[in-house]
Amino acid sequence: MKNVYLFNNGRIQRKDSTISLVLEDGTKKALPIENTENLHVFAEMDFNTSFFNLMNQKDVMLHFYNYYGYYSGSYIPRRKKVAGFVDVQQAAHVLDINKRLYIAQQFVYSAIHHMLRNVRRYKDEVAPFIHEIEQLKKQVADASDIQTLMGIEGKIRFTYYQCFNAIIKNPDFQFTKREKRPPTNPINALISFGNSLMYTAVLSEMYKTQLNPTISYLHEPGSRRYSLSLDLAEIFKPLLMDNLIFMLINKKMIRAEHFEYVEEHICLLNEMGRKIFIAEFEKRMSTTVKHRKLNRQTSYRFLIRLECYKLIKHLIGDEDYKALKAWWWYVRASCL
């Protein structure tokens, strides 16, 4: 199963049990729907109801990105893996502040572990920042509410970002501070784009489990967003996405020519930059590591689903949840 990314404007039409992309110039391209898991739409695209009916039959998710290349929404087929007991327990763990705090703290501990894992390779250059993160980490256990915990996590991430210039060895890229809405420089553009991909990857894996993506613990459950995906993405952003960004910049695979400025101050990856980023992201997601408990090679993508299964076990009382803390120091070039 694979992800398909669409960058050209056009129309997707269904014929029987297959679909094809009709470009604006009339060119037709077949889309291999039988082995497609997600469609990522970065262009202006026309659909009809028969197409969505087929997507529901084939369990294909659609993820839509706006003009700036950032995630704007998803079409998710009807949930087939439903479990009322899991939904009830998932909600109960939100309503009980102690239960909610435990899960939220696990997400934060995992994120801190992976941030420290990234910066400790450069400890001679960033020792004061490492010390500050380690001191802030001690406050996580004492947080009495989610707002306090989020404040601690925000301070840690602010300190972590100050290490980026020591990690990035390409003089063409300098990082000053994190800016999201909108990103004003290339590194912020890369982080925002990467976070969009990470969010949809987590959502796609969560769909294959009984978890309800709208019931969350670290981020507030709210309307119009799958907030549990934001929670689990906190684990994988420093582990997967930040390392990917460092590699793309340091190996000069992403260069200044891969960015464009809109309205003079909004910095975005252009289409070529997005394609390079996505290709390396897909390669990284299919890379495997030897899982200590399963005793077999496991892809980064499947590690996300395993995290969902671990959370379910915690919710139904089978096993206390311990968020992922990477035990490997490098990954061999082994892909599924």
- pLDDT at site 313: 97
Q: What is the structure's pLDDT at 51?
A: 87
pLDDT of 290 reads 87
Worst-scoring range by mean pLDDT, 129-133, 191-195, 299-303, 327-331? 327-331
Report how far apart, in Å, the C-alpha atoms of 28 and of each of 5, 10, 213 are: 16, 10, 36
Domain assignment present for residue 127? The answer is no
Q: Are 203 and 233 in contact (CB under 8 A)?
A: no
Judge whether 219 is annotated as a binding position: yes
Please report, for the domain that includes residue 300, its CATH number.
1.20.120.920
Q: What is the pLDDT of residue 1?
A: 66
Number of helical H runs and strand E runs in the chain: 11, 12
Instruction: Report yes or no: 114 and 239 within 8 Å, Cβ to Cβ.
Output: yes
314 is in an annotated binding site: no
pLDDT for 333 equals 40
Q: With 50 as the cut, is the pLDDT of residue 18 above it?
A: yes
Q: Under a CB-based contact definition with an 8 Å cutoff, are residues 336 and 299 in contact?
A: yes
What is d(CA 140, CA 153) in angstroms, rounded to the nearest whole number? Answer: 8
Please state, in angstroms and as integers, the Cα–Cα distance from residue 4 to each residue in 38, 231, 239, following that order. Answer: 6, 25, 24
Same domain as 54, residue 198: no
Pick the closest to residue 70 from 200, 174, 186 (CA basis): 200
Predicted confidence (pLDDT) per residue in 240-281, tens digit: 999 999 999 999 999 999 999 887 788 899 999 999 999 999
**Claim to verify: residue 279 and residue 195 sit in the same structural domain:** yes
Q: Token pair 């039988």 is at which residue? A: 34
Domain assignment of residue 177, given as a range: 84-99+171-315
- Of all residues in the chain, the percent with pLDDT exceeding 90 is 62
Same domain, 176 and 307: yes
CA distance 98 to 192: 32
One domain, residues 64 and 190? no
Q: For the domain that residue 46 is a member of, what is the CATH number?
A: 3.100.10.20
Give a yes or no: residue 330 inside a domain.
no
pLDDT tops 80 at residue 299: yes
List, for residues 19-57, the tens digit of each pLDDT value.
888 888 888 888 888 888 999 999 898 988 888 888 888
pLDDT band at 330 (very low <50, low <70, confident <90, very high): low
How far apart, in whole angstroms, are the C-alpha atoms of residue 323 and residue 334?
24
Given 75, 110, 133, the domain boundary residue is 75
Q: How many Å separate Cα 129 from the centre of its chain?
A: 25
The answer as to whether 128 is a domain residue is no
Q: pLDDT tens digits, residue range 186-238? A: 999 999 999 999 999 999 999 999 999 999 999 988 766 789 999 999 999 99
Are 41 and 67 in the same domain?
yes
Residue 325 in this model has a pLDDT that exceeds 80: yes
Query: Residue 223's pLDDT is what?
Result: 63
What are the pLDDT digits (tens) for 106-154?
Answer: 999 999 999 999 999 888 899 999 999 999 999 999 999 999 999 999 9
Kindly state whether residues 244 and 303 are assigned to the same domain.
yes
Domain tally, the chain = 2
Q: Taking Cα atoms as reference points, which of 204, 166, 158, 191 lies closest to residue 39?
A: 204
**Taking a C-beta distance cutoff of 8 angstroms, is the pair 229, 198 a contact?**
no
Q: Are residues 263 and 189 in the same domain?
A: yes
pLDDT value at position 160?
95
pLDDT tens column, 80-93: 777 889 999 999 99
Residue 155: inside a domain: no
Evaluate whether residue 123 is within a structural domain.
no
Q: What was the pLDDT predicted at 332? A: 46
Mean pLDDT of 286-298: 87
Look-up of token digits 């899982």: 291
CB 257 within 8 A of CB 268: no
Let me know: does 321 contact 99? Beta carbons within 8 Å.
no
**Nearest CA-CA partner of 179 in 102, 243, 266:** 266
- The side-by-side arrangement of strands in the sheet containing 45-46 is 28-31, 18-23, 10-15, 45-46
Q: Give me the count of residues in the chain.
A: 336
Q: Is 131 part of any domain?
A: no
What integer best gives the mean pLDDT of the chain?
90
For the whole model, what pTM was predicted? 0.89
| Same domain as 94, residue 46 | no
Q: What is the pLDDT of residues 168-189, one digit of tens each?
A: 988 888 888 887 778 888 999 9
